[in-house]
Amino acid sequence: MGLYGVAWGTVIARNLGGLLSISLLFANKRGISMRLTDFLSLRWIVVRRIWHVASPVLAERVLNTSSYAFFLWMVASLGTTVLAAHQIVLNIESLVFMPAFGMSVAVSSILGQAVGSGRHRIGELAVKRTLLFTGSLMIVTALLFVVFAPHFVGIFKATPEVLALAGKAVRISAIELPLFALCFIFMGALRGAGDTRSMMWAVVLSITFVRLPATWLLAFACKLGIVCGWRRRWTGDAGRWRFG
């Protein structure tokens, strides 16, 4: 089924995960129990409190998704080779960020419980130790990116041009890994403490004033392409990317 098979596989997997999650909520295990009548008797004061916490996260996600679509449009305008290399780097990074994302969820839960029970010292220790562990892990990963980048991208069996560009981009992305991982932890900690507005403003400022303008400036105005130090050359009748 090709691409349609990929789409159907994704839909089936996500719906199955949703049904399993709902079944756990109704299973009356681990102190959580829900009934169908709970969906019919809403307490608006609780809904308002939930919305107060959730609305900044919603705004953050909408802004993140829309800005990424515009960012991807800029990348795609650089050519199919650059777009393919960019997608390879994203796939590699998404695997690397899984531990940091898991630690973010963990510290959010621990800090939320600590704040709710008044044991702030436990929450503080959880954040500090998670920062130390995740930061150390990402520093090691960044070193692996620098040394073994060609081997990582080679798994995807793309054309030599795509792999060469992706390898360069992976090495550059090693610079962001430690700080980006720490950002995950701070996001989880703030959300666990109920402060979702700080991260919303951080995302708004970083995307609006840094990411999108810097991408346009370096990729188009300075003609550096998707990787700094690589430049676009026009070769005869057909424009394509060469590396040098």
- In this prediction, residue 227 carries a pLDDT of 56
244 band by pLDDT with thresholds 50, 70 and 90: very low
Q: Are the CB atoms for 94 and 100 separated by under 8 Å?
A: no
Contacts of 146 (CB under 8 A, 6+ apart): 171, 174
Q: Give residue 235's pLDDT.
A: 34
- C-alpha pair distances (Å), 220 with each of 126, 134, 211, 226: 43, 35, 14, 9
CA distance 151 to 161: 15
Interatomic CA distance for residues 134 and 137, integer angstroms? 5
Q: Is the pTM of this model over 0.75?
A: no
The string of pLDDT tens digits covering residues 229-239 is 333 333 333 33
d(CA 88, CA 163): 9
pLDDT digits (tens, 9 = 90+) for 92-120: 888 888 888 889 889 988 988 898 888 88
Q: How confident is the prediction for the chain on average, in pLDDT?
A: 82
The angle formed by the CA atoms of residues 99, 60 and 24, to the nearest 5 degrees, is: 55
Of the candidates 81, 83, 80, the residue with the CA atom closest to the CA atom of residue 71? 83
CA 185/CA 192 separation, integer angstroms: 10
The Cα–Cα gap between 7 and 203 comes to: 30
| pLDDT for residue 225 | 67
